[in-house]
A = this chain, B = another copy of it.
């Protein structure tokens, strides 16, 4: 169901890579976690991966992601998303955010899927479908922020 193949050249090149690391394909979050562990261990970079350092690194990557779309209106973002070559920069920044988030979860021993599931369950109770469906009036637009709450609305 993917619209675009994400070019995927680097992933493909990687699969054929039989070099020193002889990596196998990453098929789930656990595999990604282990691969990032090994990446850090091989370079002895684990010493830098404290939670605060990783959060700062995550901030840096989210900043790069924001920079990709900062001057683009919605129409041009759509163009970017749909252009096989231009979208590469967006895909790479999203990947960088995931990489640091997975590393952070790992050093804090957080099970990402369990954590997300818990949060969604709590959001389902906080935003009952009947009360929040559709109506722009009910959608947590300004109200939440204005009221000083931490509600952040849709999703």
Contacts and interface: CB of A to CB of B under 8 A. Distances in A.
Interface of A: 2-4, 6, 8-11, 13-14, 17, 20-21, 23, 25-29, 31-32, 35-36, 39-40, 42-45, 48-72, 74, 76-77, 80-81, 86-92, 94-105, 108-124, 127, 129, 132-134, 139-142, 145-146, 148-150, 152-155
Q: Number of copies of this chain in the oligomer?
A: 4
Given A48-B153, A150-B148, A95 B121 contact: no
30 contacts: A4-B109, A6-B109, A10-B119, A10-B121, A14-B121, A26-B117, A43-B133, A44-B133, A51-B69, A51-B77, A55-B56, A55-B62, A57-B152, A59-B59, A62-B63, A70-B152, A70-B153, A71-B139, A71-B141, A86-B142, A87-B108, A89-B142, A89-B145, A90-B110, A91-B108, A91-B110, A91-B118, A98-B115, A100-B155, A101-B101
Contacts of A119: 10, 92, 95-96, 99
